[in-house]
A and B are shown apart, each in its own frame.
Chain A
Amino acid sequence: MASGDREPILETKDLTVNFKTYRGDVKALDRVELALYRHEVLALVGESGCGKSVSALAILGLLPQNALILDGQILFKGEDLLKKSSEQMREIRAEEIAAIFQDPVTFLNPVLTVGVQLREAFFVQKHVWNRTLPDTAENKSSGDEIKEFLMRKDRPEAEAQADRISAREKQKITEELSIKMLHLVRLPDPERILTQYPHELSGGMRQRCMIAMALARRPSIIVADEITTALDVTVQAQILMLLKELRDSIDASTLLITHDLSVAAETADRIAVMYAGNVAEVATTKELFRNPLHPYTQLLMRCIPDVRKPVVRLESIRGNVPDLIDPPSGCRFHPRCPFAMEICREKKPVLKDVGNGHLVHCHLY
């Protein structure tokens, strides 16, 4: 999906974030520029400490207390999220930007059943009542109905109905929606799962519940932070397949954060490679793999073993990821870069468009 001249739904501009620590300030993000377009999957890829998760937390307004946002904007539908109050951000997280994290155990409430937690997700929206009620009588196939729900094909006249529905009816509607939602994320026997507690489910099932809860809010953006990292490969494959299947039935853009370039290759439309708090390169997935431009991307691709092409010798990038309390001058990759020139030590490059929305942060281009 080429970015073209479409308007991004979410954009970070010059986002600069420091963390205060007793050793000094960690310069975690340095003028990060990212754009997420409608209905695309953008993968943020990088090694630990590259700033991919910090970017996500900044977008969600969930940065820890010791974070300092020094500069920049996060534009969502034209509004700067950094100017919102914490109350407004809560609302945005409830209705617009949903997050799924690596470890569902920490995000599910252990003392409430899955059903209670999933129903809560529907209650935050007024429109729910308006559409679902008449349809249940029409005996529509469950798949279509949930898809219409996800595509926000609400009936305009429904808004006002919310007050006329009794609590018991609301309970019934959300119950039915929950069951359909769990069907959608391919959980077997949804009726039983609704009555279970998180600890009774396996890791893959919990992650599916988290996805269902995120979708139930019909967000415009889903931030998925390392959602398959804690899962086994066979389960990871199931979840990635689910994400691919869901793409077309939801009206949302996905920001997929992963350390695994292979996972990004299989799921994303575009990939942004991050290194030490900078965006190193952005391109469509195919373009990035066909024609990686940034030396870091090129080297990174040679470090990943590919089971289809066994090699005698794997490559690695000399040196280590830098300590961001005292990041290298100029381009932060220069101490490890085989092509480093004089200018790389002195001047920070700009993120340059080399054509077709392929952006690269390097003096070579």
Chain B
Amino acid sequence: MTEEILVVDDLRTWFPIKAGLLQRTTGHVRAVDGVSLKVRRGETYGLVGESGSGKTTLGKSILRLIEPTGGTVLFDGIDVTKATKGNVKKLRRRIQIIFQDPYASLDPRQTVGSTLSEAMRTHGLVSSKADAIRHAKDLLRRVGLNDEHLFRFPHEFSGGQRQRVAVARALAVDPDFIVLDEPTSFLDVSVQAQVLDLLKDLQKELNLTYVFISHNLSVVQYMSNRVGVMYLGRLMEDAERDSIYNSPEHPYSYYLMAAIPIPDPEFKKVPKLLSGDVPSPVNIPPGCRFHPRCPYATEKCRAGEVPFYVGSGSHHNVACHYSIDFERGAQTLRPASLTQAAEARTRSQAG
């Protein structure tokens, strides 16, 4: 089944910068700046990027936890960006989010049971208290905890268990779609896999769709079917998992993949280093935002925004004018017809 449950089109979320006595808007932090992507039902879309690339803002904008500045988000055919308040509430039952830090996202003064039943009551999913408790116990068992945990407070749990509670809380309202924002980056490696595997199992059992946000490329590779690489508020590349990990086509993705430390001292890594740091999203470089750090940049890259081209992999979109042979350092201009093909594909899938 390849039906798209989420279609994001040209989404922009800008934050105003206010300065001076009158707090006039003097500029914008363009956290998300024209992102289009599609998520298929029952699959995981991985979003990777470095800090400040806008991946969290994008995740929150999908739920309208942050009001987007422009563009559309279609969830199961409903335009989230134009939904009324009542409809947003209905949508939030179906779209849930799990945050990085379970220490901050759970109410320290509520027991797990009351946290879970509050979510169910808010959305009118249970008729009585007994019903809520029965449902909460089911949820806890589902995430690998047991009945006695119902009456405990968040501080009585370890980090991994707390993240399980956060998962149970998200599942309490029977969602179709969950945005997972760095769900394991607070956890130690020895427990990280427990939570990742739980998420994978739940996805299969409940036919959930995930957007998995992480800066950890190995974890995204483990979890995702399709992966998007973000840089300074834009998608640089968007492709099937294996296609992007085995043969990245955008120079940024290529260097990002090459920078991952390998847990093998005998692996002879050829150092491929990018120069510099990620620029501030207030002063985004003109043209391709990656050009100041890109060793392949030309005049054309400085000129204007780069459209998506059709890459050589299957369903591979890449925002780079050049097709680059990274081993030999040769670059050839991609024909403009490939952007039209990419546009046509985007349109047909959106419609």
Any chain B CB within 8 A of the CB of A236? yes
Q: B263 contacts A265, CB within 8 Å?
A: yes
**A174 contacts B by Cβ under 8 Å:** no
Secondary structure dominating the interface of A? helix
Please judge, given known A-B contacts A261-B263, A285-B265, A316-B191, whether A307 and B257 are in contact too, CB under 8 Å: yes
Residues of chain A within 8 A (CB-CB) of B218 are 304-307
A-chain residues with CB within 8 Å of residue B263 when the two chains form the complex: 261-262, 265, 289, 301, 304, 306
B264 at the interface (CB under 8 A from A): yes
Once the chains bind, are A266 and B261 in contact (CB under 8 Å)? yes
In the complex, the answer to whether B278 meets A232 with C-beta atoms within 8 Å is yes
Q: Closest residue to A303 on the B side, CB-wise? A: B189
A317 with B190: CB separation less than 8 A: yes
Residue A241 interfacial (CB < 8 Å): yes
Residue numbers in A under 8 Å from B215 (CB-CB) = 232-233
Specify which of A205, A303, A321 is in contact with B192 (CB 8 Å cutoff).
A303
Task: Count residues on chain B whose CB falls below 8 Å from chain A CBs.
Answer: 41
Q: Is B277 touching A305 in the complex (CB atoms < 8 A)?
A: no
Whether B277 and A205, one on each chain, are in contact in the complex, defined by CB atoms closer than 8 angstroms, is yes
Bound together, the chains give a CA A262 to CA B219 distance in angstroms of 14
Q: Which residues of A contact B193 (CB under 8 A)?
A: 303, 314-316
Is A234 close to B, CB under 8 A? yes
Residues of chain B in range 181-230 having any CB-CB distance to chain A below 8 Å? 188-194, 196-197, 215, 217-219, 221-222
In angstroms, Cα B263 to Cα A261, docked, is 6
Contact with A along B242-262 (1 / 0, CB 8 A): 000100000000011111111
Measured between beta carbons, the chain B residues less than 8 angstroms from A47 are 188-190
Contact check, A233 vs B260: say whether CB atoms are below 8 A apart: yes
**A48 close to B222 (CB less than 8 A):** no
Report B-chain residues with C-beta under 8 Å of the C-beta of A310. Answer: 221-222, 245
CA distance A262 to B261 in the complex (A): 5
Let me know if A306 and B259 touch, CB within 8 A: no
Task: Kindly identify which residue among A204, A238, A265, A299 contacts B264, using a CB–CB cutoff of 8 Å.
Answer: A265
* B274 touches A (CB below 8 Å): yes
How many angstroms between the C-alpha atoms of A251 and B28 in the bound complex? Answer: 48
| In the assembled complex, A300 has its CB within 8 A of some CB on chain B | yes
Is the pair B189, A265 in contact by a Cβ cutoff of 8 Å? no
Contact across chains for A303 and B261 when beta carbons are under 8 A apart: no
Cβ distance A168 to chain B, nearest Cβ, rounded Å: 35
Interface residues on A, range: 35 or more
Inter-chain contacts of B233 with A (CB < 8 A): none
Q: Is A202 an interface residue (CB 8 A)?
A: yes
Query: Does B50 reach chain A (CB closer than 8 Å)?
Result: yes
Check if A124 is an interface residue, CB within 8 A of chain B. Answer: no
- B274 to chain A: which residues have CB within 8 Å? 234, 237-238
Q: Is the beta-carbon distance between A314 and B197 smaller than 8 angstroms?
A: yes
For window 295-323 of chain A, which residues contact chain B by CB distance below 8 Å?
299-301, 303-308, 310-311, 313-317, 320-321
A191 lies within 8 A of chain B by Cβ: no
A240 to B273, CA, bound (A): 11
Q: Is the CB of A321 within 8 A of B50?
A: no
B161 close to chain A: CB less than 8 A = yes
Contact of A307 among B188, B221, B273 (CB under 8 A): B221
Name which residue of chain B comes closest to A289, CB basis. Answer: B265
Q: Are A234 and B259 in contact (CB under 8 A)?
A: yes
Q: Which residues of B contact A286 (CB under 8 A)?
A: 265-266
Check B340 for interface membership: any CB of A closer than 8 A. no
Q: Which of A235, A307, A316 contacts B194 (CB 8 A)?
A: A316
Q: List A contacts of B190 (CB < 8 A).
A: 47, 299-300, 303, 316-317, 321
Q: Which residues on A sit within 8 Å (CB–CB) of B260?
A: 233, 262, 307
Q: Which residue of A lies closest to B277 (CB)?
A: A202
Docked-complex contact B262 and A311, CB < 8 angstroms: no
Taken together as a complex, chains A and B put the C-alpha atoms of A232 and B260 apart, in Å, by: 10
Are B245 and A307 touching (Cβ within 8 A)? yes
Knowing A234-B274, A237-B273, A305-B221, the reply to whether A266 touches B262 (Cβ < 8 A) is yes
Query: Which residues of chain A (185-216) have a CB below 8 Å from chain B?
Result: 202-205
User: Does any Cβ of B come within 8 Å of A294's Cβ?
Assistant: no
Which of B194, B245, B256 is within 8 Å of A233, CB to CB?
B256
A52 at the interface (CB under 8 A from B): no
Residue of A nearest to B53 (CB): A232
Knowing A308-B262, A321-B158 are in contact, say whether A48-B188 is a contact too (CB < 8 A): yes
Q: What's the Cα separation between A300 and B51 when bound, in Å? A: 27
B311 interfacial by beta-carbon distance below 8 Å = no
Is the beta-carbon distance between B265 and A232 smaller than 8 angstroms? Answer: no
For B262, give its contact among A262, A314, A317, A320 (CB under 8 Å).
A262
A260 at the interface (CB under 8 A from B): yes
Q: Kindly supply a per-residue 1/0 record for chain B positions 79-102, scoring 1 wherever the CB is within 8 Å of any chain A CB and 0 otherwise.
A: 000000000000000000000000
Which residues of B have CB within 8 Å of A236? 259, 261
- Chain B CB count within 10 A is highest, among A204, A234, A238, A290, for A234
A residues less than 8 Å from B161 (CB atoms): 320
21 CB-based A-B contacts, threshold 8 Å: A47-B189, A202-B277, A205-B277, A232-B50, A234-B273, A235-B277, A237-B273, A285-B265, A303-B190, A303-B192, A305-B218, A305-B219, A305-B221, A306-B264, A307-B257, A308-B264, A311-B222, A313-B197, A316-B191, A320-B191, A321-B190
13 new A-B pairs (CB below 8 Å) besides A232-B278, A285-B265, A290-B266?
A: A48-B188, A203-B277, A233-B259, A234-B255, A234-B274, A237-B261, A286-B266, A289-B266, A301-B263, A305-B222, A307-B245, A320-B161, A321-B190
| A interface residue numbers (CB < 8 A to B) | 47-48, 202-205, 232-238, 240-241, 259-263, 265-266, 285-286, 289-290, 299-301, 303-308, 310-311, 313-317, 320-321
Q: Which 7 A-B pairs have the closest CB atoms?
A: A316-B193, A262-B261, A232-B50, A305-B218, A237-B259, A47-B188, A314-B193
